[in-house]
Chain A
Amino acid sequence: MLGYIFQRIVRAVPQLLLISVLAFIIIQLPPGDIVTLQIQRLRNSGVEVDEVQAQALIRQYGMDKPMYQRYFLWITNIITKFDFGYSFTFEKPVTEVIMERMGYTFAIALFAHIFTWTVAIPIGVYVAVKQYSITDYIVTFITFIGLAVPAFFLAMIIMYVALTKFDIRAGGLFSQEYLVLPWSWGKFLDLLSHLWLPIILLGTGGVAGTIRTMRAMMLDELRKQYVTVARAKGLSEFQVIVRYPSRLAINPILSGVMWLLPWLFSGGLMVEIVLNLQTAGPALYSSLRNQDMYMAGAYILITGFLTAISAILSDVLLAVSDPRIRFGGVEGA
């Protein structure tokens, strides 16, 4: 088993290397190098940058060295010092910008997922049990539309309704007066009062898909004989459904849990931008608008890394539960 895990990790190394190269290429994409651009920007805004300072900046970012050396400088800084470069937009290291937003990003995405499951799984089970009923048709119709409506459209419409009908100004995580204050009980309550809307919005985006998966799986399971057996044993209909087929039908959703990791980081990007939350997504957006690419490189590298880890974790989990994969994998790898 350990051998398999080790092999799986070794196989991921070239993959991660390639991702890092791609991320680096993206950083280098905009015409002109970032440092010259930044010096230009500083000079335009009236800050004195003399030649010595400019040269120092250029040397610090290795702009005088060839491309491959710059790549090594960049990746070594990330691995040894966890330093993803400098964000000129925020005038802070990228790591700092991302870290101070990480908590909100993860919390919102996690709760959004929990919201998705609590809403979608019972509905999915229900419409599968009542197949071809009016409810089934209505739900199917709504999920079809739900799949076609991107979450950020929904966010815009709900913000509009909240503002005009309920006079709630949705968006942001804090009220103006709490934004710069240190943490307090009041600020915490303020955060909670702003948090529910993004959570519901982000969560709703996944509901349609989950209902459809759940319904399809349930329909498969309900036809099987063990359901009949359970009924024959005299269990109540509710017990039959909740105790047996539901637990099996939920499997694909559970095995998808692993993919939560990258999703937490980048799944709600558009909604976060529309709602202007203090999470990592909008920070990426505002730096991209200034072609401040170190943020983007970090974002792509981190998400790629999280995806690779998720893939390893789900493979290992599968191998734990199914010995055939384990042994086949060792020979095949």
Chain B
Amino acid sequence: MSASNLLKKWFGRKERPQIKAGEEEEFYRAGQWQLVWWKFRRHKLAQMAMVVLGIMYFIVIFAEFVSPHDPLRRFKQYLSFPPTAIHIRDQEGKFRLPFVYGMVMKRDPVTFRPFYEEDPNAIYPIKLFVRGDPYKFWGLFDADLHLFGTGTDDMPLFVMGTDSIGRDEMSRIFYGGRISLSVGLVGIAVSFVLGLTLGGISGFFGGIVDEAIQRVIEVITTLPTIPLWMALAAALPREWPQLRIYFATTLILSILGWTGLARSVRGRLLSMREEDFVLAARLDGESEWAIIVRYMIPGFASYIIVSLTGSLPGMILGETSLSFLGIGLNPPTISWGVMLQDAQDIMNVAHYPWILWPVPVVVLAVLMFNFLGDGLRDAADPYVT
């Protein structure tokens, strides 16, 4: 449908040029991607999602700088430390820049469990651009500048608290996002290559090749997602380095994802082969390869993008589930799923609920990708108003 509409618009422009001035004309003159952008702009939720995701990826990319601490550093005096309250009003009721109070540890007289109380006399203002734990930025150059913090080890800043061995939750969330948010991207890259190649072969050659690929896809879609992921992840050799496990996990996650893409690519190719503009290109003496790459792929590129965005949330959740179960990534690697391993014991969660922080973060990421996917789906076909 989009292809024939496309033709109509293109020829329509030539048939009656400049009949109407202004917006209408601009609409006709605009290229496909321009129209997609305009339509996307109308989807407010999707735009908001794009901004939020942009911020998330920004934080993750510059995690070393944005994190207040080294995610692996153990603060021995602050085990399972609750999130620090950030104040803007001191004891006398005066407003001042954000600060935290020093915390004093006390013990419950009955249970002997430690708890913390604020010391109103010790005020630690939160500063921007402070010197802190040294790190190697992107593994390239040494630095120790952090975006924010108290700048002193007397009272480090724990916005989200610490885990059972005293590591800062917030820094771990930021670093963990590197894995959790990139698994989906690498996963869709793999799905993309697999889906496009196999779907393309299937749709282009047809016949027995097509039949075989379609049967394989049929079988793969009957396999149960979670048990299959679990089985494959569990089969990974334990002694592998974490980086290899990471890539193997993304491969596993994309093993089911490519089938949908392959199907839609095949469908598009089959229907487009009959279109007039393909015939025209063929009459012009274009090679088969050029026809696919220059004429057909631009025709359904938008659908590919939509289908890919749609599979991202599933992969993020997949990584989280597998690592949570301890059969995907494992410590010392940090990912949101690995962080949640601590939450497997419900008593742990009951005493230190802040170890559930990865939950809202994962939900936020997935929700935003859902919104973005929705907006893109609407925008992908800009000729339907």
Contacts and interface: CB of A to CB of B under 8 A. Distances in A.
Interface of A: 14-15, 18-19, 22, 26, 29-31, 144-145, 147-150, 152-153, 156-157, 159-160, 163-164, 169-171, 262, 265-266, 269-270, 273-274, 284-285, 288-289, 291, 293, 296-297, 299-300, 303-304, 307-308, 311
Interface in B293-315: 313
A308 B223 CA distance: 10
Given A156-B356, A266-B227, A288 B222 contact: no
B17 to A, nearest CB: 39
Nearest to A169: B346
A144 B370 contact: yes
A188 B133 CA distance: 57
A304 B321 CA distance: 21
Interface of B: 215-216, 218-219, 222-224, 226-228, 230-232, 234-235, 237, 313, 317, 320-321, 324-327, 343-344, 346-347, 349-350, 353, 356, 359, 362-363, 366-367, 370-371
Contacts of A22: 219, 223
A113 B326 CA distance: 29
Among B230, B232, B237, residue most surrounded by chain A Cβ atoms (within 10 Å): B230
A288 B230 contact: yes
A308 B222 contact: yes
Contacts of A293: 231, 234-235
Contacts of B320: 150
B349 A296 contact: no
B36 to A, nearest CB: 23
B234 A296 contact: yes
A285 B233 CA distance: 11
Given A164-B350, A164-B353, A289-B327, 19 more contacts: A26-B228, A26-B231, A26-B232, A29-B232, A30-B234, A148-B366, A159-B349, A163-B346, A163-B349, A163-B350, A262-B224, A266-B226, A284-B227, A284-B230, A291-B234, A293-B234, A304-B222, A308-B222, A311-B222
Main secondary structure of the interface of B (DSSP, over half): helix
A266 B349 contact: no
Nearest to A274: B344
Contact of B231 (A31, A147, A262, A296): A296
Contacts of A164: 350, 353
Contact of B370 (A19, A147, A308): A147
Nearest to B228: A300
B234 A307 contact: no
B219 A156 contact: no
A269 B313 contact: no
Given A19-B219, A156-B356, A288 B327 contact: yes
Contacts of B356: 156-157, 160
Nearest to B359: A153
A300 B353 contact: no
A189 B24 CA distance: 71
Contact of A273 (B216, B325, B347): B325
Nearest to B314: A150
Contacts of B324: 152
Q: Which 6 A-B pairs have the closest CB atoms?
A: A29-B235, A296-B231, A288-B234, A303-B224, A148-B367, A148-B366
